[in-house]
Amino acid sequence: METTTFSKFSAEFFGTLVLVLMGCGSAVIAGADGTSGVGLLGISFAFGLSVVAMAYAIGHISGCHINPAISIGMVVVGRMKSSEAVVYIIAQVLGAIAGAAILYLIASGKDGYSLADGGLGQNGYEAGSPAGYSLISGFVAETVFTFIFLMVIFGSTSTKNINGGFAGLAIGLSLVLIHIVGIKVTGVSVNPARSIGPALLVGGRAISQVWLFIAAPVLGSILSAVVWRFLLEKN
């Protein structure tokens, strides 16, 4: 039976909600302090494991993009219609906002928590960067990391890949790797929806800087798709 547009929309909404709630939640609730929390490595795995879990939960329904950069990349490589990508992106952004809202409701239940100080795992550069990295560093990191992430996705989901059943695991682990390297630079986005959700609720600097976490992942996605389609996929 053909999967309906509403089913795909719902799957992408739910999947992105889970990614933001669990990924950003690991930073806000579980903590980046390695002595009393999960640390940066734990946060990295939280994001990756969220993708793995959702890949096997909703992958058969929508393909588990849960990321506008992936949907845009799929359009460029010819695996998706642009009209369908628009539906996916709307679902992803709404899901990310819902995930951030749920995270805020949970986090605000602790005495001493404030949205201004504790945040919601938003991304940033310069004063908004976890380690003070510049705008240029952030843009390059987000573009290159998204390029790599999409390359893994294109390759692992290719019909030519005999290990396609492990695509979800490969994609999730690649996101872990990207976070291990990139958390201190920008907090890691490689996903415009993941950045938009927390930024809308946090406001201030997060909103003023969110453009980078839309533009750089989209650029990285398009570059990766072009390389895959015209240089690698033909071989």
Structural domain of 28? 5-232
CATH label of the domain that carries residue 173: 1.20.1080.10
Mean pLDDT for 162-174 is 87
DSSP the chain: -PPPHHHHHHHHHHHHHHIIIIIIHIIIII-S-TTTS-HHHHHHHHHHHHHHHHHHHHHHHH----SHHHHHHHHHTTSS-HHHHHHHHHHHHHHHHHHHHHHHHHHTTSTT--HHHH--S---SGGGSTT---HHHHHHHHHHHHHHHHHHHHHHT-TT-TTGGGHHHHHHHHHHHHHHHHHHHHS--S-HHHHHHHHHHH-THHHHHTTHHHHHHHHHHHHHHHHIIIIITT-
Q: Express each pLDDT in 63-119 by its tens digit.
A: 999 999 999 999 999 999 999 999 999 999 999 999 999 999 999 999 989 998 899
Q: Tally the domains of the chain.
A: 1
The answer, yes or no, to whether residue 140 has pLDDT greater than 60, is yes
The answer, yes or no, to whether residue 34 has pLDDT greater than 60, is no
